[in-house]
Amino acid sequence: MRIPMIAGNWKMNTTVSEAIELVNEMRQELDQIDNVDKVICPPFVSLAAIKEVIEGSSIKLGAQNIYFEEKGAYTGEISPLMLADLCEFVIIGHSERRQHFNETGEIVDKKVKAALKVGLKPILCIGERLEENEAGRTEEVLTEQLNSSSDRIYYFSGLVLAYEPIWAIGTGRAATGEQANETIGFIRQYISQQHGEKVAHNVRILYGGSVTADNIAEFINQPEIDGALVGGASLKASEFLSIVKQTSEI
Ligand code: PEP
- pTM beyond 0.95, yes or no: yes
Phi/psi of residue 214, each to 5°? -80, -25
User: Given a cut of 80, is residue 120 above it in pLDDT?
Assistant: yes
Q: Which atom of ligand 1 is nearest to the CA of 168?
A: 10
Q: Does the C-beta of 228 come closer than 6 Å to ligand 1?
A: no
- Cα–Cα distance for residue pair 41/91, rounded to 1 Å: 8
Query: Left if phi > 0, otherwise alpha if psi is -120 to 50, otherwise beta: which for 109?
Result: alpha
Burial class of 17 by CB neighbour count within 10 A (0 to 12, 13 to 18, 19+): exposed
Query: Which residue has the CA at smallest separation from atom 1 of ligand 1?
Result: 231
Report in angstroms the alpha-carbon separations of 62 from 7, 69, 128, 152, 191: 8, 19, 24, 24, 24
Tell me what pLDDT residue 149 has: 67
DSSP character for 3? Answer: P
Pocket test for ligand 1, best of 65, 89, 100, 210 (most atoms within 8 A of CB): 210
Tell me what pLDDT residue 1 has: 84
Q: Does the C-beta of 229 come closer than 6 Å to ligand 1?
A: yes
Q: Does the C-beta of 230 come closer than 6 Å to ligand 1?
A: yes
Domain-by-domain residue ranges, the chain?
5-248
CATH architecture of 5-248: Alpha-Beta Barrel (3.20)
Q: Which atom of ligand 1 is nearest to the CA of 162?
A: 3
The confidence band for 151, taking pLDDT boundaries of 50, 70 and 90, is low
Q: What is the mean pLDDT of the chain?
A: 96
The confidence band for 155, taking pLDDT boundaries of 50, 70 and 90, is confident
